[in-house]
Structure 1
């Protein structure tokens, strides 16, 4: 019997966009540098990018809405 497992991209419907790759990389760098709260993560995104979709600055509410939107697309 073959062992069942979940591959990293098994549930992905499409390849990530360039924006999604940049956002994920920036979030990973934030976590690696010890950032662990939303306010600090939003500040990190505003310093390092990528920019908030449609312009303007990242906010806690905007970040939460954007992550929810991206999650719904997956």
Structure 2
């Protein structure tokens, strides 16, 4: 008898409590754009956020530190 390997996986949006808002969609689109261009370093991602004029929390300027804190906040 052949037994299939079981690999757990996440269903899309299974841990999401609500639909993303406009800001989260803009941020997500910019991240997808960066990764689609094979940009994986945080400075490169910040450059994409600036180029796409993704709104910055509290009117600051995008920086690697701000991006890290914003991703942590959204992922909490």
CA-atom RMSD in angstroms: 1.5
User: In the alignment, is residue 31 of structure 1 matched against residue 35 of structure 2?
Assistant: yes
Superposition pairs of residues 38-57 of structure 1, within 5 angstroms: 38-57=42-61
Report the structure number with the largest CA radius of gyration. Answer: 2
Higher relative contact order (CA 8 A, sep 6+): 1
After TM superposition, the score normalised by the length of structure 1 is 0.83
In 2, distance between residues paired with 1:59 and 1:37? 12
In 2, distance between residues paired with 1:39 and 1:71? 20
Contact 1:23 1:49 (C-alpha < 8 Å) held by counterparts: no
After TM superposition, the score normalised by the length of structure 2 is 0.81
Gaps of 5+ in 1: none
Contact 2:23 2:55 (C-alpha < 8 Å) held by counterparts: no
